Amino acid sequence: MSNHYYELLQEVSKIVGVITENKVEIKTLGEICIINRGASPRPISKYITTNYENSIPWIKIGDTSLGSKCILGTKERITLEGAKKSRVLKKGDFILSNSMSYGRPYILNISGAIHDGWASISDFKEYLISDYLYYYLSLGATQNYWKLKMNTSSVSNLNSEIIKSLPIIIPPLHVQQHIVSILDKFDTLVHDIKEGLPKEIELRQKQYEYWREQLLSFNR
């Protein structure tokens, strides 16, 4: 194991100790964020445009890429008239796919409009750091929560009410930032192909996933 990993594991041990010694808030997403479903003007072909001056980005699932964290741009744009019939979000907001590969979070690095295949999370920064929210929404426990709620509510998509009901652990912002910095370092080391052979990388991936769960689950 490299010195970088020893250092990270020591940091993790320290911060888990700090967290368990302090009280953290638990709220639902609906209590601390604004959550909405996207909307599509119809027929959509009427509102797609190549005119940049009187339009905004039209954000679709095809604008994401495998393993991406942020949406950086779009292939298509929608007219301002169409945007009025859609859901317009600002840079820094989150979107989640609400069907098929549901619950996968993305951070918007642009402003734009989303269709009804997306749900949005915005106005959370009083309570949450963006990267902390991203890691929390990426947890296996969060994905299992979506599955459980969908299975017990007889719905086929991840609707706004289910998203609003998600409990989220809210440590102080400085603690969130510390957690993010550790997970970012793990992520960098795990995905750096120069770190070692495939088996070694697989081991690091498992360690990263384990400590991500530890850092973000606290005293549930």
Average pLDDT over residues 53-70: 89
How many Å apart are CA 33 and CA 185, to the nearest integer? Answer: 28
Enter the pTM of the model.
0.79
119, 37 contact by CB (below 8 A): yes
Tokens of 58: 């039209």
Please tell me the distance from the alpha carbon of residue 65 to that of residue 72, in angstroms, as a whole number: 10
Q: Say which residues have a Cβ less than 8 Å from residue 78's Cβ, sequence separation at least 6.
A: 41, 47, 48, 49, 55, 56, 57, 58, 86, 113
Strands 48-49 and 76-79: antiparallel
Quick: pLDDT tens for 131-189.
999 988 988 888 888 988 888 877 778 889 999 999 888 888 988 898 888 888 777 76
Closest to 71 in 3D by CA, of 96, 50, 36: 96
Asked if the peptide bond before residue 43 counts as cis, ω within 30 degrees of 0, the response is yes
Rg (CA), the chain: 19
